[in-house]
């Protein structure tokens, strides 16, 4: 039987659902009556997939391509952010004075700079000054079709590779500052008794940290790190300003070409929601299943 507490939450949840449905209904109603907006949802599916008249194959269209680019951006930025943030967090928690100082400067500087500004700086500095000097795009164009396909699958096409790399570096550095604080807090939270017990059985400080402290830290901060990954997905939208063809950029291009303003942005919102909500629910599931007692 349901107790009063569970019944109370059920009623609240039902009220919230009714409120949300009503608000959505009023929005669409006012759009149709007040603004005389003509909804054209039937055009949206064709921007996901289309039939190639030449090959007769079903191919991904602009929205799916943007969605995949967003996933790739988020993955590589998260990987860079995790590695950089873990190193900075270790330096900030157990490093020398100089290492703690460098870690603090990095964290405080990046966290107090808007992510948009950081992306633009890296695009015009890293991409134009360093990546262009490496002639990476030219090398990729001269490579075999197989190499281009692999690089395109993992990163981007030759025309976009420099901008793509500068975007993931900027996002990785930005997210790394937040990861650094998560890792630093996790290391500090490990009781000193863990150090003392490990040292008492003959382990060096380095082995104690690598074999005892760090594994416990990563387990404790795994779920906050997963939450940061979800945040990275949302932050990836800012790279649309440097013409990276991720989901937001593709949505803006599609809106400008079709004038289906609300249909496109509602669809884009729904795609972001599917991606982030599914990940957040997965994180919540594993957090309950493997929570530290």
Q: How confident is the model at residue 291 (pLDDT cuts 50, 70, 90)?
A: low
Q: How confident is the model at residue 126 (pLDDT cuts 50, 70, 90)?
A: confident
Which of residues 31 and 280 earns the better pLDDT score?
280
Q: How confident is the model at residue 9 (pLDDT cuts 50, 70, 90)?
A: low
CA dihedral 187, 190, 192, 193 (to 10 degrees): -140
What is the 3-state composition of the chain as percent helix, strand, coil, each rounded to the nearest 5? 80, 0, 15
The model's pLDDT over 161-210, given as tens digits with 9 standing for 90+, comes to: 888 999 999 999 999 999 999 999 999 988 888 888 888 888 888 888 88
CA 224 – CA 280 distance, rounded (Å): 11
Does pLDDT of 122 surpass 60?
yes
Angle 93-96-102 (CA atoms, 0-180°, nearest 5)?
75
pLDDT at position 269 is: 92
- When pLDDT is averaged across residues 87-103 and rounded to a whole number, the result is 92
Q: What percent of the chain has pLDDT over 90?
A: 37
CA 266 – CA 264 distance, rounded (Å): 6
Does pLDDT of 86 surpass 90?
yes
This prediction has a pTM of 0.84
The model's pLDDT over 212-260, given as tens digits with 9 standing for 90+, comes to: 888 888 888 888 888 888 899 999 999 998 888 899 999 999 988 888 8
Does pLDDT of 119 surpass 70?
yes
Is the separation of the CB atoms in 292 and 219 below 8 Å?
Answer: yes
Least confident of 5-9, 131-135, 263-267: 5-9
Q: How confident is the model at residue 6 (pLDDT cuts 50, 70, 90)?
A: very low
Is the separation of the CB atoms in 246 and 254 below 8 Å?
Answer: no
Is the separation of the CB atoms in 100 and 259 below 8 Å?
Answer: no
pLDDT at position 202 is: 84
Mean pLDDT of the chain: 86
Strands 49-51 and 58-60: antiparallel
pLDDT at position 125 is: 81
Angle formed by the axes of helices 261-289 and 214-235, to 10°? 170
pLDDT at position 1 is: 44
Angle 174-175-176 (CA atoms, 0-180°, nearest 5)?
90
pLDDT at position 31 is: 66
Task: Please give the C-alpha separations between residue 55 and each of 1, 62, 106, in angstroms, as whole numbers.
Answer: 60, 18, 52
- When pLDDT is averaged across residues 31-39 and rounded to a whole number, the result is 70
The enclosing H or E element of 58 equals strand 58-60
Q: How confident is the model at residue 2 (pLDDT cuts 50, 70, 90)?
A: very low
CA 180 – CA 174 distance, rounded (Å): 10
Where are the chain's structural domains?
Answer: 61-289
CA 148 – CA 165 distance, rounded (Å): 15
Architecture of domain 61-289: Orthogonal Bundle (1.10)
pLDDT at position 7 is: 47
CA 245 – CA 167 distance, rounded (Å): 11
CA 148 – CA 279 distance, rounded (Å): 30
Does pLDDT of 84 surpass 90?
yes
- When pLDDT is averaged across residues 86-113 and rounded to a whole number, the result is 93
Least confident of 25-34, 113-122, 252-261, 280-289: 25-34
């Amino acid at each position: 039987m349901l107790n009063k507490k569970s019944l109370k939450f059920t009623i609240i949840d039902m009220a919230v659902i009714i409120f949300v449905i009503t608000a959505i209904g009023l929005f669409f109603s006012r759009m149709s009556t007040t603004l005389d907006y003509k909804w054209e949802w039937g055009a949206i599916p064709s921007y996901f997939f289309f039939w190639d008249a030449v090959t007769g194959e079903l191919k991904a269209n602009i929205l799916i391509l943007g969605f995949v680019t967003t996933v790739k951006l988020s993955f590589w930025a998260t990987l860079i952010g995790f590695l950089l943030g873990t190193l900075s967090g270790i330096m900030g928690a157990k490093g020398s004075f100089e290492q703690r100082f460098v870690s603090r400067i990095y964290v405080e500087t990046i966290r107090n700079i808007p992510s948009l500004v950081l992306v633009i700086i890296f695009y015009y500095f890293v991409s134009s000054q360093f990546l262009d000097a490496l002639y990476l795009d030219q090398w990729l164009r001269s490579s075999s079709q197989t190499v281009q396909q692999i690089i395109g699958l993992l990163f981007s096409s030759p025309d976009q590779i420099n901008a793509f790399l500068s975007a993931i570096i900027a996002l990785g550095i930005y997210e790394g500052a937040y990861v650094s604080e998560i890792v630093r807090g996790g290391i500090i939270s490990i009781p000193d008794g863990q150090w003392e017990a490990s040292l008492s059985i003959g382990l060096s400080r380095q082995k104690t940290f690598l074999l005892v402290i760090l594994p416990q830290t990563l387990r404790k901060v795994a779920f906050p790190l997963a939450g940061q990954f979800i945040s990275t997905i949302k932050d990836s939208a800012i790279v649309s300003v440097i013409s990276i063809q991720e989901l937001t950029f593709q949505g803006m291009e599609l809106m400008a070409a079709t004038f289906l303003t609300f249909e496109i942005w509602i669809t884009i919102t729904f795609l972001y929601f599917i991606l982030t909500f599914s990940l957040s629910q997965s994180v919540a599931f594993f957090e309950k299943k493997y929570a530290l007692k």
